[in-house]
Amino acid sequence: MDLDVGRAHGARIYDYILGGKDNYGPDRAAGEESLEVWPALRIHMQANRTFMHRAARFLAAECGIRQFLDIGTGIPTAPNLHEVVQAVAPDSRVVYVDNDPVVLAHARALMSSTREGRTDYIHGDMRDPEAILAAPQLRQTLDLNRPIGLMLIAMLHFIEDDDEALRVARHVIDILPPGSYFAATIATDDFAPEPLAKVRDLYHSHGETLRWRTKAQAEQFFEGLELEEPGLVQMHKWRPDPIHIGKIDDADIAMYGAVGRKP
Question: pLDDT at position 1, please?
Answer: 47
63: Cβ contacts below 8 Å, ≥ 6 apart = 149, 181, 261
Q: What is the pTM of this model?
A: 0.93
Q: Note the pLDDT of residue 53.
A: 97
In sequence order, which residues have a C-beta less than 8 Å from that of residue 106 and are 6 or more positions away?
Answer: 22, 75, 76
CATH code for the domain of 172: 3.40.50.150
In a domain, residue 100? The reply is yes
Number of domains composing the chain: 1
Predicted local confidence at residue 3, as pLDDT: 58
Ramachandran area for residue 224 (φ above 0: left; ψ -120 to 50: alpha; else beta): left
Full residue range of the structural domain in which residue 227 is found: 10-261
Q: Is residue 1 part of a domain?
A: no
> Has residue 139 been placed in a domain?
yes
Q: Is residue 253, in this structure, part of any structural domain at all?
A: yes
pLDDT of residue 21: 85
Q: Is residue 4 part of a domain?
A: no
Which residues of the chain have a pLDDT value below 50?
A: 1
Collapsing DSSP to helix, strand or coil, 93 comes out as: strand
Spatial contact of 189 and 158, defined as CB atoms under 8 Å apart: no
**In this predicted structure, what is the pLDDT of residue 15?**
87
> How do residues 208-262 score in pLDDT, each as one tens digit?
899 999 999 999 999 999 999 999 999 999 999 887 777 899 999 999 999 999 9
Confirm whether 173 is domain-assigned: yes
Q: Is residue 71 part of a domain?
A: yes
- Is 2 contained in some domain? no
